[in-house]
Chain A
Amino acid sequence: MDGIHDLGGKQGFGPVLVTEGDAPFAQDWERRMWALSRDGICPTMTIDWFRHGVELMVPGDYLTFSYFQKWATNFLMLMVDAGQITLKDLERGYVLEPAGPAKARTVQDILEQVRRACTDFSVPEDAPARFATGAGVRTLRHIDHPHTRLPAYARDACGTVIAHHGAHLLPDEGAQGRHLGQHLYTVAFAARELWGEAANPRDDVTLDLWESYLVPS
């Protein structure tokens, strides 16, 4: 979707807060939000449905909420969507029928869990890759999936394949709960192709793009 999240190249945001924004967490609740997000509290979601959920936020909130405020809001939505809690629970702030307590885990347990979370998104694919390294490609101008990883700034642009990664799960499908693999490539675009003649001729931007986003140039 052409949502407010698709920020690449948008102008008017001012300087990056290099010093003030240097800490990963400013508040204790941010740490707790990060912790909650790691632990599978919404087991039926996919990573793509999570990302798509953030994209579906009220646009004004997306731009004004801090990162973890967006995550908290999105997890509340995801848990209601999955039927784990109700909107009434949210408004009340507690559930009427609590379940038994979850088993507490230690830091050592968590460190092992982190290692197991090293997820492989590649999938076997019998179809041959359409593009070889070095091939010229053009990205699509229009995307009609609700969720895509082809940003607006790199649509209808010509680039060069610099790497092929085999097939990876396609987020466009993952956001709809389906598991479908497709060839994935890293494509380099000259900065001038994306931004015009003012860009430095030496510079480029690479994106990791699935085969269905690309046609031969």
Chain B
Amino acid sequence: MSTFDSKHAAGLHRHIHSHLPSDAALRVKTLESLAVEKGLIAPETIDAWVEAYSEHIGPMRGATVVARAWCDPAFKARLLENGTDAIREFGFEGNATGHLKAVENTDDTHNMVVCTLCSCYPFSILGMSPAWYKSAAYRARAVREPRAVLAEFGVDLPEDVAVRVWDSTAELRYLVVPQRPAGTEGWDEERLAAIVTRNSMIGTDRVLRAGAA
């Protein structure tokens, strides 16, 4: 039973710090061995999780949702009203999307998502987050100087476009709905989904290009 005792936990962390090699691969190997020996998980199940998040769950899911929103105004309304219910229509609900909020970019507003306290992310529709999203630099700077961070991502944002940064401090998770680019009239959802970048759904990319597909 977990103790929920902060002092006890901090003491254990100090013990681990002093007595265990810090090598990351070795620590994961130790954790895996102990969990398997204790009958908590089978190695094949770990492989299955890896495959699920490599082959089935990833940003292509979010892109599919965005493309549907571009093509179907009724779906877009449902997505903006209740993101979790809307992604259930695809079977995409799951890890960290129990309270999904979709936020829409417009000509005069740009949305950007961060988690300054840890690295919360809507896993079941975007997969695991990129390393930069979990970095100290992004977590520290996104809220304070979002325009400078966007410039590093190559986003040239006009001064008169407002930036709204969503800091994921509760169990709500945010999905940015980027703007549909010009030159994509008549495209089907599959073709549209192919030009929706992962970063555009986090808000570190803004102008999508029809030529990218």
Q: Which of A's residues lie within 8 Å of B, judged by CB?
A: 1, 5-11, 13-18, 20-27, 29-36, 38-42, 44-47, 49, 51-54, 56-58, 61, 63, 65-69, 72-73, 75-85, 87, 89-91, 93-95, 98-107, 109-111, 114-122, 146-147, 149-151, 153-154, 165, 168-169, 171, 175-177, 184, 186, 188, 191, 194-195, 200, 202-210
Q: Is the CB of B34 within 8 A of A115?
A: no
Contact A184 B28, CB 8 Å, known A111-B56, A176-B4: no
Q: Number of B residues whose C-beta is below 8 Å from A?
A: 102
Question: Among the listed stretches B69-77, B163-171, B184-192, which one makes contact with chain A, having 4 or more residues with CB under 8 Å of it?
Answer: B163-171
Task: Give A146 to B8 CA distance when docked, in angstroms.
Answer: 12
B47-87 CB contacts (< 8 Å) to partner A = 47-57, 84
| Binary flags per residue of B97-132, CB closer than 8 Å to A gives 1, else 0 | 111000000000000001011110000100111111
Q: Is the CB of A53 within 8 A of B48?
A: no
Task: Give A87 to B136 CA distance when docked, in angstroms.
Answer: 30
Task: Give A114 to B35 CA distance when docked, in angstroms.
Answer: 20
Q: Is the CB of B169 within 8 A of A150?
A: yes
Contacts of A209 in B (CB 8 A): 169-170
Contacts of A210 in B (CB 8 A): 170
Can you name the residue of chain B whose Cβ is closest to the Cβ of A12? B140
Can you name the residue of chain B whose Cβ is closest to the Cβ of A115? B94
Task: Choose among B32, B164, B171 the residue that contacts A168 (Cβ–Cβ < 8 A).
Answer: B171
Task: Choose among A8, A26, A93 the residue that contacts B117 (Cβ–Cβ < 8 A).
Answer: A8
Q: Is the CB of A121 within 8 A of B99?
A: yes
Question: A-B pairs with CB below 8 Å: how many?
Answer: 351
Can you name the residue of chain A whose Cβ is closest to the Cβ of B144? A9
Contacts of B152 in A (CB 8 A): 15-16, 18
Q: Is the CB of A90 within 8 A of B45?
A: no
The 6 closest A-B pairs by CB, nearest first: A8-B116, A99-B39, A35-B49, A208-B170, A21-B132, A202-B162
Q: Is the CB of B166 within 8 A of A206?
A: yes
Task: Choose among A84, A101, A115, A186 the residue that contacts B42 (Cβ–Cβ < 8 A).
Answer: A101
Contacts of A165 in B (CB 8 A): 99, 170, 172
Contact A6 B117, CB 8 Å, known A13-B136, A35-B46: yes
Q: Is the CB of A184 within 8 A of B170?
A: yes
Contacts of A77 in B (CB 8 A): 9, 12-13, 16
Task: Choose among B29, B51, B144 the residue that contacts A107 (Cβ–Cβ < 8 A).
Answer: B51
Contacts of B132 in A (CB 8 A): 16-18, 21-22
